[in-house]
Amino acid sequence: MKVFKLSILFAFLVFSTTALTQELKADDVLAKHLDSIGTKEKRAEIKNRITIGTAQFDVLRSPTYTKGKLSSGKVVFLSEAGKIFLGTKYESLDYPFDEIVYDGKDLNVAYINPGNRSVLGNFVISHRYLFSEGLFGGSLSTAWSLLDLHSHEAKIKSGGKKKINGQPTYVLNYLIKGGSPLSVKLYFNAETFQHVRTEYEQVFTAPMVKIPGESAGQVQTLHQLTEDFSDYKKVNGLTLPHSYRINLLIDGKQTNEFEWKFQFSQFLINEDIDLNSFES
């Protein structure tokens, strides 16, 4: 009897270890992520969301911008169905605000002064599908692509595992229908399945030159936008991130790196929203 019990125990331990180390399929990660936000019924109740908080902009590396110059202010992130509005206001004459509006069809980014958009504005206007795909803002937004992946006709594929800030995560490669010059990777905490990061990356190869001696001065350029989400808390039956960080790296002949940090303290759900908010 003792041998029998020990055999069962050993078999159970082997099974448990195998189950814990088994890789999850992309669809399993997706399903667990959606459950981490809230129940299917609760998610379906949400028609719109307004998040309000503080904003901070910082120049991390740049030969042309003033490094380490902090700009503080306020942020409003508004979403309804597939529409998104991101508005910030800073205490800075050089960078007074950002206003990014996606009305479900067109993306508009305001000029912060005549003829010039912010570096964030320039990036997103060049990569509109961050908004048309519902990727920007992650689960902060009602437009979050993973809430209705089928409507975007996108595909997700497992990218294995990777540690983010010391925590293991599952990685999903997000494949836009028809292709995209950006590679998109989504990261989910391996225990909670909360969405912790999105990475967008595009590499521009060095241009071809006709004169061999000129090739030494040609370098490839990397554009990388990273969104980080943390400080998840319950809000009206949903678990949503309260901290949101955007990092933009442009690395080529020169290196420019910028960071935006948002800390949300107020969440308003299913409010009457003026539809003009999604117009510019």
Q: Do the Cβ atoms of 230 and 241 come closer than 8 Å?
A: yes
Q: What pLDDT, on the 0 to 100 scale, is given for residue 273? A: 79
Provide the CA 203 distance to its chain's centre, in angstroms.
Answer: 19
Q: What is the pLDDT of residue 1?
A: 45
Q: What is the 3-state secondary structure (H, E, C) of the chain?
A: CHHHHHHHHHHHHHHHHHHHHCCCCHHHHHHHHHHHHCCHHHHHHCCEEEEEEEEEEEEEECCCCCCCCCEEEEEEEEEECCEEEEEEEECCCCCCEEEEEECCCCEEECCCECCECCHHHHHHHHCCHHHHCCCCCHHHCCCCHHHHHHHHCCEEEEEEEEEECCEEEEEEEEECCCCCCCEEEEEEECCCCCEEEEEEEEEECCCCCCCHHHHHHCCCEEEEEEEEEEEEEEECCEEEEEEEEEEEEEECCCEEEEEEEEEEEEEEECCCCCHHHHCC
The mean pLDDT of the chain is 88
For residues 136-157, average pLDDT: 95
- Residue 216, pLDDT above cutoff 60: no
Least confident of 55-69, 90-104, 220-234: 55-69
- Which pLDDT score is estimated for 210? 55
Would you list the domain boundaries of the chain?
24-278
pTM: 0.86
- Segment among 37-51, 77-91, 110-124, 262-276 with least mean pLDDT: 262-276
* Averaged pLDDT, 130-140: 96
At 70, is the pLDDT very low, low, confident or very high (cuts 50, 70, 90)? confident
Average pLDDT of the segment spanning 170-182 = 92
Higher-confidence position of 90 and 204? 90
Mean pLDDT for 37-56 is 96
Question: What's the mean pLDDT in 98-123?
Answer: 95
Check: CATH 1.10.3280 for 24-278? no
